[in-house]
Chains A and B, each alone.
Chain A
């Protein structure tokens, strides 16, 4: 178990050693976003903007225009929310080479409560032309995503979490922006998942196997670009999809998948995620149960979608 933000912090330091153009900005949360180790090793290439996210994003844009490779970090609510228009105008519109790495995405922020739990950032970022949106499942994928983002020329939004999550991928995974990964074969239905819900879906698939149901698990660590081929194949081959994300069911992974299959190959889809509500205080585990994001809930969603598939 490792938190994706921890994997980010380690990878940033490695990138700092490899590429002198990598610079990091933070908005007074370097201890939480894990940019602090980079700041310690490369104080001249770390810029604390203070509690001023708009200016942080704007300075990152200027640094990129000046030839640097900036990573700008804060919590997802402040990155995609407070600094939205700066991300739109100063990063996405000019296709600026800035990586916004937002930690504390979703409800597993926990005790800080709904004000600090971003349930809408993927939807907001996905709507921006030119933007790449990544949501890794675990530590190894985070390391690979951060490296891929550094190598890619253009704006990238990476959503990471606060809590420790199970490791799904091996270290040094084969990774490409925009490519999904089938983590488990299956022909009865497909779990299409992102972020920490991928590990939950793998558990759900084991439970379903005992019931004689073969569930495919398709992980999409790239919300945009979306791996349309793998999703449409899954729709065609399994005839039923369950999307799962630690995010609102509106506009994020569930939204993206529904948009795609409704045009490309319509099949029943059940969306697991927050049902258009904000989060609240509690432990990460309690909140996952409360908002229906456990393997048990995924099994129920699978059963619902299978009934709809049969009824067609």
Chain B
């Protein structure tokens, strides 16, 4: 539960993260805009409210772990890591450049705060399972969070991992689906329907919650609920809007892998009150 000042602060953080994300994508001249904007409110609550982590000590053993399974939303993750202080904000301008520690998709060996390498869809949940198993074996209280895309649920490995997480009762694991309904080729429901997502995870033995993925309070409550759940992993299905926060990007599959032009950036920043 977020009190009013925290909520206000998080709203401010989320807005700043959107601005940073758009700026870095514009400079990089390539990258995934729509899915970075849709996932940002989830990341805001995770990184700046829920997760226990220490940017001054990224290797802190007891930290909570985060896996961005939908690795193409790397700009959103990098914006969070810079905001949290894992590296200087100026680094964001080097996104996707030769020699940059900010690769097109998250790289644990290059970027402080990135736990595993992701980007090839379908693999993050398995890695999150392993991290949750390791935390349990080591007697750590750390929790593991991962965010998947809804299109990503088309990958068979996700369901192998879903089976295993429930089988091993990984209640220190919380997965979230950024359910924006769009993928590169169009609507998820038309490309390869993944619905109904909730009942599928229920049938696989998960504790399932559905929230508005842009309602910070609802996200925070769902994450608290997940932490209180024992004996099974939790899946938070977050209904989101691709391109959220920039009206002319919203609900558009065409902005999946396209950065904002200079003109679009200007208009977007104006809308976000940061021109």
Q: Residues on A close to B: CB < 8 A?
A: 23, 44-45, 47, 49-50, 52, 54-55, 57-68, 70, 85-86, 89-90, 93-95
Contacts and interface: CB of A to CB of B under 8 A. Distances in A.
Given A47-B168, A89-B117, A89-B120, A58 B134 contact: no
Nearest to B156: A54
A49 B159 CA distance: 12
A55 B168 contact: no
Nearest to A44: B137
B137 A45 contact: yes
Contact of B130 (A61, A89, A93, A94): A61
A128 B271 CA distance: 46
Interface stretch (B108-116, B246-254, B255-263): B108-116
Contact of B126 (A45, A62, A64, A70): A62
B137 A49 contact: no
Interface in B85-112: 107-109
B138 A55 contact: no
A227 B254 CA distance: 51
Interface size class of B (residues with CB under 8 A): 20 to 34
Contacts of B138: 66-68
10 contacts: A54-B123, A54-B160, A55-B126, A55-B160, A58-B127, A62-B131, A65-B134, A66-B137, A70-B130, A90-B127
Contacts of B129: 55, 58-59, 62
B133 A54 contact: no
B82 to A, nearest CB: 21
Given A89-B120, A90-B116, A58 B131 contact: no
A93 B160 CA distance: 22
B117 A58 contact: no
A93 B127 CA distance: 14
Interface string B135-175: 10110000000000000000011001101100110000000
B80 interface: no
Contacts of A60: 130
Max chain A C-beta neighbours (<10 A), residue from B61, B115, B129 = B129
A66 B164 contact: no
A94 B107 contact: yes
B117 A62 contact: no
A148 to B, nearest CB: 23
A52 B131 contact: no
A55 B157 contact: yes
B119 interface: yes
A68 B122 CA distance: 22
Nearest to A92: B117
B60 to A, nearest CB: 12
A185 B127 CA distance: 48
A107 to B, nearest CB: 29
Nearest to B110: A94
A42 to B, nearest CB: 11
B132 interface: yes
B12 to A, nearest CB: 32
Given A89-B123, A94-B117, A64 B130 contact: yes
B90 to A, nearest CB: 26
A94 B127 CA distance: 12
Contacts of B164: 49-50, 52, 55, 59
B128 interface: yes
A24 to B, nearest CB: 12
Nearest to A88: B120
Given A52-B163, A94-B117, A58 B133 contact: no
A58 to B, nearest CB: 2
